[in-house]
Structure 1
Amino acid sequence: MKNRINSITIRSLITKSFYYTSTRIGFESAIRFLTSGFWPLASKHRITMIYGFIMVMAAFDVQSQPLDSLFVLAAQSNPDVQSKYKAFEAAMQRIPQVKGFPDPTLSLGYFLSPVETRLGPQEVKISLSQMLPWFGTLKAKEKVASLAAEARFQDFMDARNRLYYHVADAYYAIAKIKEWTRIERENVNLLKSWKELATRNYENGDGDMVDVLRADLHLKESATNLEILSREERPLLARLNQLLNRPLQEPVVTDTLKMFDDALTPLSRDSLLLLHPALQKLELMEQSSKAEEAVARKNGLPRPGIGIDYVVVGNPSGLQVDNGGKDIIMPMVSISLPIYRKKYKAAVREAQLNRESLALQKEAATNNLLSLYEEVWFTIQKQEQLIQLYDEQIRESRQALKLLTTAYANAGKDFDEVLSMQQNLLKYEKNRAEAISRYNTALARLRYVTGR
């Protein structure tokens, strides 16, 4: 089963690796590249080179997309993902081990008491033998190893996709904190201007001192909120940098928090099951177990062997015979007798039970993914509705605040209404930022659940 790591696996790698890092060469160009003269290289080197090619090309196109650059950095640096890839490379090394013949046996014997024959005494015996597996056994073993290597590769893809989700989760949490900080600072600036206005009105006899105190109380609350937000960002930053395998407090640049307009349409059950690497991994492992059953059956068949004996014969003493002292060459054929059947039957049953176990694992994983898909899709729709609601509340609150501010500036009354409306506006703006963060995080999770 030559070159089992085939174009399907490579196309999966290209598709998923380019999902978050849109490269200039494009999917079709990548496929043409893979099916060109580059393709006949040995499987291990082909996979390694393509992986490096993807990472290099992805890095070229990371432009003003902080999250995309973090994805590339995470894939290159995260030890968990790197360990999965090394496990895949190790599994690839298993293929040449299982498809080779067993080592031949060379033995040398010396007759301490030479055995006299008519042609002379036998002095030295050299034997060379080679056992041969039953027909198709090596091919079956290679299939098992190749499927296991593909399963390792899908495990790597799943780990990488999961890493992307965790990076996005931490990134949007930090982006939300920074957006809340910006909103709170704007609130501080506005409260300062109102405090100055309230102070002037009080000095001019058009307002009360209580208005100044109210503004001062809100200023102190905002200052405390800013300090808490600054401290809250530190553990989030540490979590993100831990995923990137770099110093925990290294700063991270984030884009302005906004909704992505690339929300995914609902996928059918078949599409979901087709794309996810975790399910593909279990499918490949199940196929590998089926191939192991075939190997176990073939191991229970006789194994032929061929060999040759070479006997060094000395000159006969005191006799003159034809061919005296001529060495002996004796070809041999042997066959193993697999008469202890229990171990072979147990190996077959083991492979069958493993396949049944993997089928149940796949069923459980499928149910879990479908459940997660429904949950995530609901979260996306919920956050969309909340964002629309908060947009309306913010728009109407700003209109009301403008009217209340104008009335207070003219008459010096209802300052508490102004502050109350401003606090409502502050709450709506923060709620909107949190809803956008949850929306984008849910989109990232949806991409993981769907294997994109």
Structure 2
Amino acid sequence: MRYAITIFLIIWIGANTFAQVNNPELKVYINIAENNNPELKAMDLKYQQALEKVPQVKSLPDPTFSAGVFIQPIETRVGAQKAKLSVSQMFPWFGTLGAKEQQASLQAHAIYLRYLDARSKLQMNVTTSWLDIVLTDQKIFFTQKRIEVLDLLEKQSLKRYESDQTDMVNVLYIQMLKEELISKLELFKDKRNTQKTGFNKLLNRDLSTDVNTPEDNSFLLISSIANKDIEFTKHYRVASWDQMVESAQYGEKASKLNALPKFGVGLDYAILSKRTDMNVADNGQDAIMPMLSVSIPIFRKKYKAAIKVNEFKQQEYEELKTAEMNQLELELQQALELYKIGIRNTDLYQNLIAKAKQSYEILSSSYESSTKRYEEVLNMQQKIWIYEQKQIEAQIQVQKSLAHFKYLEADSYGATTKNLDNK
């Protein structure tokens, strides 16, 4: 028995001594998600729509053209007026179009910042989903190794039982442990299939596509936080509301300018026929008449209401900005808590693994003299596996918190409105 357990320890230690290799899988998956994720594509299209609104709002109203023919020509001194052509163009008050353009541009920039936030959040979600699969693969690995060792121990125990060197209860005990682990292994495999489906949905690819995880888990040891004091005033989620507040300010300005008179210029062209009964100066000469029009904004309620709406929008966006700041601060605290717990548990299980291995050596050396020691040896061996698995769970927890920190550190510095094809 001791020989079998010693063989297992050699296998187990060798299996967990990984070579240093590059692990580009996660970066590749993030790139695939950024290119394929439907929600991110929808945000891209929403931004493109917002950009197309800018030339719409900054354009002048369409000019109007009219033509009329007199059924009964109107006689004038220089001839009968047969037809009339008119063209006119209205102009809003000075600065109105500029204010509307700024309003639409700021709204588009706010959507662009939300797009950047969605992309950053997608990176975090892909990372955490991938880490969940890494953890499940580690659990499958440990469980398979435990089953292999219990198979070996079961064979050894049966031989010892046949030679009356041990009790049948020891054989049954090993079989019970093995059956329990086989059930757990199937559960882990089912869980991985579900996780794989969710991960592939993030990448918007075939759900049956396999997900690769690294055999080298040394990346789990990288656990330092660059900055715990994060300033959220430039975070995408906050900066987008700043853009919306400024947009509402320009909307208020545009509403005030809309309440001022609008001017129009035009030209009337009258077609005249020559008089045949007499010859007068300018006989039959067509008439051209420049026109000037002014709209008089008498009904003020609609203009006042439009101004008030934009004032309310500014207050609304300020409140939403405050709520976003509060939520980000809460997420920071949660990520920090997750990080601290992961670090503490990593250190805890590192210490427990060392003590469990030491206890295992002591128990295995005195195993031959006691049946009770036999169960203690198995239990201690189980503890080593469990602690090793718990340590990896803690390391995964740390990596998830670091992914969240990376998302929270994203800010809008240098994020200018631009076409997303060039992002």
- 1:435 is matched with 394
Query: Equivalent of 1:306, from 265, 280, 283?
Result: 265
Cα distance change, pair 363–354 in 1 and its aligned pair in 2 (3 A): same
- 1:272 is matched with 232
Give the Cα separation in 2 of the matches to 1:413 and 1:318: 138
Give the Cα separation in 2 of the matches to 1:437 and 1:309: 79
Given the alignment of the two structures, is residue 340 of structure 1 paired with residue 299 of structure 2, yes or no? yes
- 1:154 is matched with 113
Query: Equivalent of 2:348, from 382, 385, 389?
Result: 389
Alpha-carbon distance, 1:199 to partner? 3.4
Give the Cα separation in 1 of the matches to 2:38 and 2:30: 14
Given the alignment of the two structures, is residue 398 of structure 1 paired with residue 357 of structure 2, yes or no? yes
- 2:191 is matched with 232
Query: Equivalent of 1:92, from 45, 51, 74?
Result: 51
Secondary structure (helix, strand or coil) at the match of 2:92 reads: coil
Q: List structure 1 runs of 4+ shifted beyond 4 angstroms.
A: 409-413
Whether the 8 Å contact between 2:223 and 2:399 is mirrored in structure 1 is no
Given the alignment of the two structures, is residue 116 of structure 1 paired with residue 91 of structure 2, yes or no? no
Compare 204-213 and 83-92 and name the one that shifted more.
204-213
Give the Cα separation in 2 of the matches to 1:317 and 1:391: 116
Q: Which amino acid aligns with 1:272?
A: F
Give the Cα separation in 2 of the matches to 1:268 and 1:137: 43
Give the Cα separation in 1 of the matches to 2:280 and 2:163: 143
Give the alignment's TM-score, normalised by structure 1. 0.82
Give the alignment's TM-score, normalised by structure 2. 0.87
Whether the 8 Å contact between 2:100 and 2:254 is mirrored in structure 1 is yes
Alignment of 1:275-290 (within 5 A): 276-290=235-249
Whether the 8 Å contact between 1:180 and 1:433 is mirrored in structure 2 is no
Give the Cα separation in 2 of the matches to 1:295 and 1:373: 39
Identity of counterpart residues, as a percentage?
A: 31
- 2:416 is matched with none
Whether the 8 Å contact between 2:353 and 2:388 is mirrored in structure 1 is yes
Query: Equivalent of 2:254, from 295, 305, 309?
Result: 295
* CA distances 1:209-229 after superposition (whole Å, capped 9, x unpaired): 322222222111111111111
* CA distances 1:389-428 after superposition (whole Å, capped 9, x unpaired): 1111112212322332333368777110111101211221
Give the Cα separation in 2 of the matches to 1:445 and 1:163: 11
Alpha-carbon distance, 1:130 to partner? 0.7
Point out the structure with max Rg over C-alpha: 2
Q: CA RMSD in A?
A: 1.8
- 2:419 is matched with none
Alpha-carbon distance, 1:359 to partner? 0.3
Whether the 8 Å contact between 1:206 and 1:411 is mirrored in structure 2 is no
- 2:16 is matched with none
Give the Cα separation in 2 of the matches to 1:64 and 1:431: 23
- 2:98 is matched with 139
Whether the 8 Å contact between 1:125 and 1:310 is mirrored in structure 2 is yes
Alpha-carbon distance, 1:193 to partner? 2.8
Cα distance change, pair 267–332 in 1 and its aligned pair in 2 (3 A): farther
* CA distances 1:266-287 after superposition (whole Å, capped 9, x unpaired): 4435x2222x211111111111
Given the alignment of the two structures, is residue 244 of structure 1 paired with residue 203 of structure 2, yes or no? yes
Unmatched tracts of structure 2, length 5 or more: 1-21, 412-423
Q: Which amino acid aligns with 2:86?
A: S
Alpha-carbon distance, 1:204 to partner? 4.4
Whether the 8 Å contact between 1:207 and 1:413 is mirrored in structure 2 is no
Query: Equivalent of 2:222, from 258, 261, 276?
Result: 261
Unmatched tracts of structure 1, length 5 or more: 1-62
Q: Which amino acid aligns with 1:291?
A: Y
Whether the 8 Å contact between 2:154 and 2:175 is mirrored in structure 1 is yes
* CA distances 1:83-108 after superposition (whole Å, capped 9, x unpaired): 00110011111111111211111111
